[in-house]
Chain A
């Protein structure tokens, strides 16, 4: 089954404790992206990646890091989480290329709470 998986689905952590949210897709998509969803703000793009070793900042990259060492995986790293990073996070992948935009396929989401 074609899908985007995220782990963990739920996470409660404390301020400053480094964490990683994993994302994996089995559709051989080159494009992957991370979003956060907050009430009243919709989804905002954190980082995206056009291919292995190619990543770029979205609208809200502060406090986050990503890496793309393999085509299928795109982990989101919070080096020192803070309470304002409490949010619902979505990973997505797409057949998008530089010249053509395609629809994204979303993972189920990771609800993160930072206390």
Chain B
């Protein structure tokens, strides 16, 4: 089965500092990769996605992620964090199938932003 690992359960950064959230996946073929953000009490919102092509993808809210096949990684980055970025972040991989697509999520990384 596919799997997604987010090794950092919780990260604290200062406002204005840079951010990198790690994501490693296990998947045999070229993966469909996603980053979602969940603010407290809210549903999940898509930040960005990677299907193919340029390995550096840009998303909303100033986030970007880089797909590295050799490392099976899809790390999320932001050059300057804002207090409103405090949330839970989930990495996910999608698996195509004629019988239906399955999605696998990491356990999430909780981000705290300190002034």
Contacts and interface: CB of A to CB of B under 8 A. Distances in A.
Interface in A45-97: 45, 48-50, 54, 56, 58-59, 90, 92, 94, 96-97
Given A42-B90, A43-B90, A90-B43, A96 B34 contact: no
Contact of A104 (B98, B99, B103, B107): B103
Contacts of B102: 45, 48, 58-59
Contacts, number: 78
Interface residues of B, number: 31
Contacts of A96: 94, 96, 101
Interface of A is mostly: strand
Given A42-B90, A90-B43, A109-B43, A48 B100 contact: yes
Nearest to A99: B96
A98 B97 contact: yes
Nearest to B31: A101
A12 interface: no
Contacts of B90: 42-43
A108 B39 CA distance: 11
Nearest to A98: B98
Interface residues of A, number: 33
A3 B36 CA distance: 16
Contact of B46 (A43, A54, A103, A108): A103
B32 interface: yes
Interface of B: 1, 4, 6, 9, 32, 34, 36, 42-46, 49, 51, 90, 92, 94-108
Interface of A: 4, 31, 33, 35, 40-45, 48-50, 54, 56, 58-59, 90, 92, 94, 96-101, 103-109
A-B pairs, 3 with minimum CB distance: A101-B94, A101-B32, A106-B43
21 contacts: A4-B43, A31-B100, A42-B107, A45-B103, A48-B101, A49-B100, A50-B101, A56-B99, A59-B102, A96-B94, A96-B101, A97-B96, A100-B51, A101-B51, A101-B94, A101-B96, A101-B101, A103-B46, A103-B49, A104-B103, A106-B36
